[in-house]
Copies of this chain bind each other. A is one copy, B any other.
Amino acid sequence: MSKNKPTITSLKGVYASGIAAGIKANGKRDLAYIFVPNAFGSAGVFTRSAFSAPPLKVTKEALKRGTLKAVIINSGNANAGTGQLGYKDAQETATIAAKLLGIKPSQVGVSSTGIIGRPLQMKAVKSGLEKLLSDPTTRDGTAAAEAIMTTDLTRKEVFCVGKVGGKKISIAGFAKGSGMIAPNMATMLGFLVTDGRISNVNLQRLLRTATDATFNMTSVDTDTSTNDMVLAFSTGETGRAITGTKELNEFLALLTKACGQLARLIAADGEGATKLIEVTVEGARNLREARVIAKNIINSPLVKTAIHGADPNWGRVLAAAGKDPSAKVDPERVDLTFAGAPVMRRGKIVAHSRDKIRKLMSAKEVKIHLNLGLGKSAATAWGCDLTHGYVDINVSYN
């Protein structure tokens, strides 16, 4: 495990680790914790799926009661579609962890990802927690980041530093997700810790805003999961609380940067993906329309397959951009570029070398830029190409 890069446990007062508890059949790491004993604030954003899984209920209830100090995360089993038993199991997980950490059960969040519809292996969870929390002040954020992976091929960690109110603030985090990634948060888990001192109410508001601009603009396959959550903790280590519009906006910018980096890592690691696709829509009449259009482009299987083939297929991009009548597009005003190369200006094809653009589009990251020429709103969405690999992973999964 590389210890070169800073991780969440590089922050003072933050402990985390991950072990193999036997929940995953393949013997890989599957149980993790984050512990912030002196947490100043916490916040959470959750899936909007009607089939929200039991661990989310337990974590939402805990957040309502006060500030979270810890979260237990397991991979290998989503504890979803498990009804009352699943809820009891999630509660028991929190209770056992609380005892081992010396805090209240209502201070522990629970998060699960993996197969849906099978009871959580509580025997493995119980013995795993005793091992995992035998020293609750372990500082191995990278092991935790690894333990939450499912079909992910890469660990996804971020560490951002910026100034808020003239003071240096850090935000560290990790995430998982590679399939079922879609609008409204898919099988996507994200955990962030900041040393900035920020209250529950402010952290909650800014986490929602940052999530809408980043995780919720990330789509691998339009499928939303039952288990998505993003949790954030504030250690409060930097002293004076972040307040006032200017400081809160500075903090929001840093939080959005951290979430955005994780979102890009998730999109790039989409199931079967060979390329990251970034779609930026500018000149929309309003933010909602910019986001709808950016998402419709990033979600289009025809765009995704075209990008896989390094094909500057502007027809497919425009067809996707125009498919929702509630988001205005005027065909005679659009400017479009692929990988920085203009192909359309004010709705007219501009002379371009298809071979040259194909070469640019052979990179691991392809940017599509669409200016609608109608207003001042912009949005960016992240996704990936659609390949044989995606089909293979999802036909054989389960």
Contacts and interface: CB of A to CB of B under 8 A. Distances in A.
Contacts of A314: 81, 117
A50 B302 contact: no
Nearest to A118: B315
A323 B83 contact: no
A224 B347 contact: no
Contact of A223 (B319, B328, B329, B330): B319
B349 A222 contact: no
Nearest to A312: B398
Contact of A391 (B182, B311, B391): B391
Contacts of A329: 50-51
Interface string A307-334: 0110101111011111101001111100
Contacts of A323: 48-50, 182, 184, 223-224
Interface string A283-317: 00000000000000001111001101101011110
Interface stretch (A34-42, A140-148, A158-166, A382-390): A382-390
A273 to B, nearest CB: 12
A391 B305 CA distance: 6
A18 interface: no
A244 to B, nearest CB: 33
A320 B117 contact: no
A12 interface: no
Given A221-B302, A299-B222, A395-B305, A50 B328 contact: yes
A137 B29 CA distance: 73
